[in-house]
Structure formats: structure tokens, C-alpha cells
């Protein structure tokens, strides 16, 4: 009995998180399907005015996200004059670079953009833990062996944030704002371990 009590205590402590988002919260085992609806409609070309800051490079233009079919998205970033900055495709678990400008053609930047946009357009995820905060439910999921936390408002069950994290640090946050009819009109992607941000504002 003594060893059982110690084991249960250890399991309870191991479920506690040190991440700022879930600090002092105890996660419970969960296998719920978490839906990210913001780029799920094949009939819509999602067009955003975009600003991307990556290191010392700053870019402005238009970002077009298109769901071509299930588990197939294309992400194209151009200047306002139509010149391509990058053109990516996500097909199932595969990532394809159709084009990228020389200023961004660095392995760590491409890898960061890949992870960012894969997380942004990935629609369905299965949770492994659920945290009950004061105003939100927070679901821990796994994608490519990475910890991701989906934050849903309790008020309307709306996805308001996705956090990419290691075991102890939050590495990148996607914030969804001005949400209406499964469309987020303002989106911010911000890295916490190096200088890279993406700001998106929807164009009707």
C-alpha cells in the first residue's frame, strides 16, 4: 500500500506542468479531438495582409492559404505587386518548398516556417492531456513528437491560442483574434526563443 501511494503521488506530480500557460494546473488524461476550423473550408481562399519579421529581414505583402483537399494545404506569400516570397505545400505529413526568396533560404528559417504553418493549418488533433483553467480549457497534443497546447475559451468553446513547447519552455505562440464564423481576422505568430514574428490581418 505504501509503494502504491508513493507511485500515485509521483504520477500526480508528473502531470503538473511548469509551463506558464499550465503552471499550477494538473492535467487529466484526455483523448478528445481538437478542431482548428480557421483554414478548413476548401471553397475559401484565405487572404491576409501580412508582415513577417525574421532576424534582420522584414517583409510585407499578401499571404494566401488554401485548403486544396483533406490534409493538403498551400501557403503562398507574395509582395503586393505579386512577386513571390515563398510558396509551400503541406500534403499529409510531407512538406514541399515550391519557392523561397534567397533572403529566407536558410535551413533554420525554413524549418521554423514549416513548423509554424503546419501547426496553423493542421485541422484535427487528438489530445493526450486536458487542463481546466479559470476561463479556458487547455489541451495538450502531439505533432511530429512536439508538444502543442490548444487553448479554448470556456465561454464559447472557441480556439484562441496554440502554443508550441518543449517540456519546460514555450517556443512559439499563435494567437487568434477577432473571430467570426470560423474565421480569425487577426492572427499573430510569435517565437519566444529567437526574433521571428508573423502578423496576419484578413482581407475581405
- Domains of the chain: total: 1
Count other C-beta atoms under 10 Å from residue 55's C-beta: 13
Is a pLDDT exceeding 70 seen at residue 16?
no
- pLDDT recorded at residue 146: 81
In this structure, is residue 6 part of a structural domain? no
Rounded CA-CA distance 156/54 in Å is 34
Domain annotation covers residue 167: yes
The HSE-up count of residue 85 (CA atoms within 13 Å, CB side) is 24
Q: Which residues contact 196 (CB under 8 A, 6 or more apart)?
A: 52, 53, 54, 55, 109, 112, 190
- Does a structural domain hold residue 3? no
Helix (H) or strand (E) holding 52: strand 45-54
Q: What is the pLDDT of residues 114-170, one digit of tens each?
A: 999 999 999 999 999 999 999 999 999 988 778 999 999 999 999 999 999 988 899
Give the tens place of pLDDT for each residue, 32-68.
Answer: 999 999 999 999 999 999 999 988 889 999 999 999 9
Residue 108 lies in a domain: yes
Residue 105: domain span = 16-202
- Judge whether residue 1 has pLDDT over 70: no
Sign of the Cα pseudo-torsion (99, 103, 175, 31, in order): positive
Pick from 79, 50, 83, 80: nearest CA to 65? 50
Does some domain include residue 9? no
Q: Looking at the predicted structure, is the pLDDT value of residue 8 above 50?
A: no
What's the CA gap between 88 and 97, in Å, rounded?
A: 5
Count other C-beta atoms under 10 Å from residue 70's C-beta.
11
Please, which residues have CB within 8 angstroms of residue 30's CB and are 6 or more apart in sequence? 127, 128, 129, 130, 139
Place of cell 502531439: 142
Residue 51: strand pairing partners? 60, 199
pTM of the full structure: 0.89
Residue 7 counted as domain residue: no
Q: Domain with 187 in it: what CATH number?
A: 2.50.20
Residue 172 lies in a domain: yes
Please report whether residue 160 resides in a domain: yes
Amino acid at each position: 500500500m505504501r509503494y502504491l501511494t508513493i507511485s500515485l503521488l509521483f504520477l500526480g506530480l508528473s502531470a503538473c506542468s511548469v509551463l506558464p500557460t499550465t503552471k499550477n494546473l494538473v492535467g487529466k488524461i484526455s483523448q478528445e479531438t481538437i478542431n482548428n476550423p480557421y483554414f478548413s473550408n476548401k471553397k475559401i481562399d484565405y487572404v491576409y495582409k501580412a508582415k513577417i519579421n525574421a532576424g534582420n529581414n522584414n517583409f510585407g505583402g499578401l499571404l494566401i492559404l488554401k485548403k486544396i483537399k483533406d490534409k493538403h494545404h498551400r501557403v503562398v506569400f507574395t509582395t503586393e505587386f505579386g512577386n513571390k516570397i515563398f510558396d509551400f505545400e503541406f500534403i499529409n505529413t510531407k512538406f514541399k518548398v515550391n519557392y523561397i526568396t534567397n533572403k529566407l533560404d536558410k535551413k533554420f528559417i525554413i524549418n521554423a516556417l514549416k513548423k509554424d504553418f503546419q501547426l496553423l493549418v493542421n485541422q484535427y488533433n487528438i489530445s493526450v492531456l486536458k487542463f481546466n483553467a479559470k476561463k479556458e480549457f487547455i489541451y495538450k497534443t502531439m505533432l511530429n513528437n512536439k508538444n502543442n497546447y490548444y487553448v479554448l475559451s470556456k465561454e464559447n468553446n472557441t480556439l484562441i491560442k496554440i502554443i508550441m513547447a518543449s517540456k519546460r519552455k514555450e517556443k512559439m505562440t499563435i494567437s487568434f483574434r477577432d473571430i467570426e464564423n470560423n474565421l480569425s481576422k487577426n492572427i499573430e505568430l510569435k517565437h519566444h526563443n529567437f526574433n521571428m514574428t508573423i502578423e496576419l490581418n484578413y482581407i475581405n
